[in-house]
Amino acid sequence: AQKITQTQPGMFVQEKEAVTLDCTYDTSDPSYGLFWYKQPSSGEMIFLIYQGSYDQQNATEGRYSLNFQKARKSANLVISASQLGDSAMYFCAMREGNYGQNFVFGPGTRLSVLP
Amino acid sequence: DTGVSQDPRHKITKRGQNVTFRCDPISEHNRLYWYRQTLGQGPEFLTYFQNEAQLEKSRLLSDRFSAERPKGSFSTLEIQRTEQGDSAMYLCASSARDRGTSTDTQYFGPGTRLTVL
């Protein structure tokens, strides 16, 4: 069974609008971490935001925020005020355990920002 | 402050040849990871080092693959007798535990794109 599901293969958003990228996960471990990465066409994976399973508040980093709904096992990424440079692949990833050895990545969502 | 670097960025080789990739992690990071990413997919974990010790290997890492981190700094990933199915992006990441938050965020290099003809 897939541990990370990203149901949106592609998304379009108008410049300056907000967009939500969906991520659901599956784990029985009470301690885990959720991460979002951006991968532009150049190929480098850029860390965006982190949410720990015990964190009480949703994580925010500038224009990025993570809508963490633990009971639903979802960790959606919200990008506010989209910019043309936000066009890229976005991957949700999970680290199981308190200090897991590897990440499990979802299949990704391709975001295209329209002028 | 330098990030994770990988060399080469691109490699084209003929089937059956051996190739070696290098990864230089962020200097204070003791953990190093290798991933493989094929077109349209997310990265898949291959192997993990803590300092010089290789602590975990994925089933994806066949006998033709070997990784080393001899002095706990840079790492190499070698693929022997390459096959067309080995064509992919090979990503390296490094991390260190943040004592304040107990998080362990992986930072990735730009990747090495391998094409096997």
A29 band by pLDDT with thresholds 50, 70 and 90? confident
Range A44-59 average pLDDT: 92
Q: What is the model's pLDDT at position A96?
A: 80
Q: What is the model's pLDDT at position B98?
A: 72
Chain B residues in contact with A100 (beta carbon < 8 A): 104
- State yes or no: pLDDT of B100 exceeds 90: no
Report yes or no: A41 and B87 within 8 Å, Cβ to Cβ.
no
Whether B33 and A104 lie within 8 Å, measured CB to CB: no
Comparing alpha-carbon positions, the chain A residue that sits nearest to B38 is A107
Q: What is the model's pLDDT at position A42?
A: 86
Report yes or no: A68 and A57 within 8 Å, Cβ to Cβ.
no
Alpha-carbon distance B74 to nearest alpha carbon in chain A (angstroms) = 18
**Residues B90, B67: Cα–Cα separation, whole Å:** 12
Whether A50 and B44 lie within 8 Å, measured CB to CB: no
User: Coil, helix or strand for B86?
Assistant: helix
- State yes or no: pLDDT of A22 exceeds 60: yes
At which residue do the structure tokens 């002028």 appear? A115
pLDDT digits 0-9 by tens, B62-93: 899 999 999 889 999 999 999 999 999 999 99
Range B13-27 average pLDDT: 96
Torsion of Cα atoms, A79 then A83 then A89 then A93, to 10°: -30
Mean pLDDT, chain B, integer: 91
A2 CB neighbour count, 10 Å cutoff? 11
Comparing alpha-carbon positions, the chain A residue that sits nearest to B110 is A44
- State yes or no: pLDDT of B116 exceeds 80: yes
- State yes or no: pLDDT of A98 exceeds 90: no
- State yes or no: pLDDT of A1 exceeds 60: no
Q: What is the model's pLDDT at position B10?
A: 96
Chain B residues in contact with A104 (beta carbon < 8 A): 45
Smallest Cα–Cα separation from B60: which of B42, B80, B34? B34
Phi, psi of A94 (to 5 degrees): -130, 140
